[in-house]
Amino acid sequence: MKNLPIGIQDFEKLRTGDFLYVDKTTFVHRLVNEGSYYFLSRPRRFGKSLLLSTLKAVFQGKEELFKGLFIEDKWDWETTYPVVHISFAKLDYQGKGLEKALLDLLAHQAEQHQIKLKEPTLKSRFSELISSLSQKQKAVLLIDEYDKPLIDYLDKERIPQAKANQRILKAFYSVIKDNDPYLKFVFITGVSKFSKVSIFSDLNNLQEITSHWDYVDICGYTQEELESYFKPYFPKAMQRNKCDEKTLLAELKQWYNGYSWDARIPVYNPFSILNFFSTGQFRNYWFKTGTPTFLINLLKERFIYNFNKVETSLSAIENYDLDNLDTIPLLLQTGYLTIIKIEGNFTILDYPNREVKESMMENLLAGFRHDFSTNSLPIIRNINHAFQQDNFVAIIEYLNHTFSTIPYPIFLAKKEAYYHSLIHLSFTYLGLFTQSEVNTSRGRCDTIVHTDTHIYVMEFKLNQSAKAALTQIKDRGYPDAFHQQNKKVVLVGINFNSELKAIDDWKEEVINIS
């Protein structure tokens, strides 16, 4: 078996180090033959950098690296092109400042090609480099993570720095259009599509392939690729998890599949798949590698926490502005939501898989509780166990504990929003079959929890009474859907007292549905 290339983004290192490579050169061949200016948006750690590194090796004519791959006998390896490769992930713009870091990068690129740059400004020097490189063959421009100097500064306190970087990038990228006669091929990647950045306003020949049906699986692994390339790793994973191949594939799909940019072809998160086959454990790999604190804080600030089947327009998710960060496009472009359905100009978004949903629930619950995320999981597990044991006294105790860490002045300012957010997150995060805010013919039930033996139909009230909650359950017929379930149906009314910041009244009633 080949080595698993965890964290390796350099194509040459991957190919010379006997690492597994899922052949994506079909896309490389198609890109070069069908166009010359491209933009691709994908979440972090999804293979964008490796794709650009592959393009670089192709244009530099490194034929030996492509033995046995699709493109091997379909490329003119004798003709090579000068390549300008800019990776913002490797740029020390936080230490040096963005402009100084870019000037140093251009100087380094010029030195590699034995060119001495004379122009004084960043913009003119970038233009000089491209034109100087193109004396014999047109140049290739590859820009990886073009938006990182913006993404890294999206928290409220650092937005001014993001805007300053935006102005520098706008001037820098404007050079591309003016140098079209000198450019053979341009490929730009990023996480997000920001408005007011010149690559989208100035480059009218830039083809965005983010959701193009020919390229939706250019990054990530399809089901076919998973079962083909990773087949040799299955036996060890099955042994580790004590399961057969069918169960393994079902679990992998539930945990790490589900990302889609056209609601048609789902792909697996490559980083999580590689880590899973390395450890053999179903765990959170991608989410914990860099989920920005600002994102959780933004959701908490706006009290946005329910992302099940979010409906929006396609035009609304295409880009966003630093002056008005729209939460849903941000979550889609950064990989926390995915497209599950498209109808005309409308789309439905949801969590892509279990890894993202559970991790987001844990972090959101911690954020709303003003507590550490590691402290939220035991509480949820305890609620789960209490349900399994039909111990409602314990359930109330644990629910009260979820509110205990919120400072009282903060809670009081938005008591109803806090109450609904924590109730929703707590029950959505449960490992049981839990339905939150369930629509019925006569209203919407707050929560329904299914265990092996019971169905709990629950309604929550704020500063009212448990009796009022129980009456609403009955009057609106919330339990009617559970005829012939062969389980006990328990109606539960709960009242939360905002002054006490705790549940002060609850009633349960077992009913007979036949």
Reported as a single tens digit per residue, the pLDDT across 427-441 is 888 876 677 666 666
Question: What is the distance between the alpha carbons of residues 61 and 55, in angstroms, rounded to a whole number?
Answer: 10
Handedness of CA 193, 199, 202, 203 (dihedral sign): negative
DSSP string of 295-327, one letter each residue: HHHHHHHHT----TTEEEETGGGS-BBTTB--H
CB-based contacts of 434: which residues, under 8 Å, 6+ apart?
Answer: 427, 428, 447, 448, 449, 450
What pLDDT score was predicted for residue 486? 81
Q: Give the largest Cα separation in the chain, rounded.
A: 86
Question: What is the distance between the alpha carbons of residues 418 and 358, in angstroms, rounded to a whole number?
Answer: 20
What pLDDT score was predicted for residue 283? 94
State the average pLDDT for the chain.
91
Q: Which amino acid is at 119?
A: E
What pLDDT score was predicted for residue 75? 97
Domains, the chain, ordered by start: 11-208 (3.40.50.300), 221-369 (no CATH), 370-511 (3.40.1350)
Reported as a single tens digit per residue, the pLDDT across 234-293 is 999 999 999 999 999 999 999 999 999 999 999 999 999 999 999 999 999 998 777 677
What average pLDDT does range 502-509 have in this prediction? 94
CB-based contacts of 138: which residues, under 8 Å, 6+ apart?
Answer: 81, 182, 183, 184
What average pLDDT does range 157-163 have in this prediction? 91
> 3-class DSSP state for residue 244?
coil
Q: What is the percentage of the chain residues whose pLDDT exceeds 70?
A: 95
Q: Which of 218-232, 382-396, 476-490 has maximum average pLDDT?
A: 218-232
Reported as a single tens digit per residue, the pLDDT across 262-273 is 999 999 999 999
What pLDDT score was predicted for residue 513? 62
Strand order in the sheet with 488-497: 433-440, 443-450, 454-462, 488-497, 502-511
Range in 261-265, 340-344, 462-466, 478-482 with the lowest mean pLDDT: 478-482
Question: What is the distance between the alpha carbons of residues 440 and 475, in angstroms, rounded to a whole number?
Answer: 12
Expressed in angstroms, the distance from the first to the final Cα of the chain is: 57
What pLDDT score was predicted for residue 325? 79
Paired tokens of 19 = 């690492």
What pLDDT score was predicted for residue 338? 97
Question: What is the distance between the alpha carbons of residues 243 and 249, in angstroms, rounded to a whole number?
Answer: 10
Q: How would you classify residue 339: left for phi > 0, otherwise alpha for psi between -120 and 50, otherwise beta?
A: beta
Question: What is the distance between the alpha carbons of residues 37 and 143, in angstroms, rounded to a whole number?
Answer: 11
Reported as a single tens digit per residue, the pLDDT across 366-421 is 889 888 666 777 888 899 899 989 998 999 999 999 898 899 988 988 888 888 88
Question: What is the distance between the alpha carbons of residues 189 and 480, in angstroms, rounded to a whole number?
Answer: 52
Q: Is the per-residue pLDDT at 74 higher than 60?
A: yes
DSSP state of 334: T
Reported as a single tens digit per residue, the pLDDT across 167-201 is 999 999 999 999 999 999 999 999 888 876 778 77
Question: What is the distance between the alpha carbons of residues 445 and 435, in angstroms, rounded to a whole number?
Answer: 9
- Which whole-number Å values give the CA distances from 392 to 45, 50, 59, 386, 513, in the listed order? 43, 52, 66, 7, 21
Buried b / exposed e over 109-134, threshold 16 CB at 10 Å, is bbeeeebebeeeebbebbbbbbebbb
